[in-house]
Amino acid sequence: MRRSDKQITDEHEIHDVLVTNHICRIAMCDGKTPYLVPVDYGYDESCIYFHSAGAGRKIDVLAQNDNVCFEITDSISMVESEIACGFSTSYRSVIGFGTASILTEEAEKRRGLMTIMRQHTGRSPWEIPADRLNGVTVLKIDIDSVTGKTSGL
């Protein structure tokens, strides 16, 4: 990281960003073209879960290259100024790298969906009917590395 003064070095603060937010942006490589999608997600210590339809560009791209980069940002607020170039933004963000996979076992899919629901609602467990479980694709990103950055907070 170029600006080490902005780096989040406290693992608990990085964890806080990962567990308190709801939208994760996942970057993939579609051949030579970058492809980025925002997804609802759930974080569970060493992985990120998200869900998807069973077909589409995201699934096709990940079938060709399962390496991903992800980004989560929170605490965003504008810092105003009377000078045009004096404006800034306050935020905390996390960027990580990992490998995405489609979960095929029912217990893994259920765990992923429970993680997402817990993150979005603050409660667990949830009853997930079999038809809903079978009708959704659940993916998992195994996190290889993660860094955090803060500015203006």
List the CATH number of the domain containing 122: 2.30.110.10
pLDDT above 70: percentage of residues in the chain:
95
How much is the average pLDDT of 15-44?
Answer: 96
Measured CA to CA, the distance from residue 12 to residue 10 in angstroms comes to 5
Residue 2 has pLDDT above 80, yes or no: no
Whole domain around residue 9: which residue ranges? 4-151
Query: Each residue of 47-102: pLDDT tens digit?
Result: 999 999 999 999 999 999 999 999 999 877 776 778 878 777 778 999 999 999 99
Mapping DSSP to helix (H, G, I), strand (E, B) and coil, where does residue 85 land? Answer: helix
Residue 4 has pLDDT above 80, yes or no: no
Residue 135 has pLDDT above 70, yes or no: yes
Residue 89, pLDDT score: 76
What would you measure as the largest C-alpha separation in the chain, in angstroms?
A: 58
Span of 57-66, 71-80, 104-113, 126-135 with lowest mean pLDDT? 71-80
| Cβ-Cβ contacts under 8 Å for 91 (sequence gap 6 or more) | 73, 74, 75, 76, 77, 150, 151, 152, 153
Q: How many domains does the chain have?
A: 1
Mean pLDDT score of the chain: 91
| Cβ-Cβ contacts under 8 Å for 22 (sequence gap 6 or more) | 40, 41, 119, 120
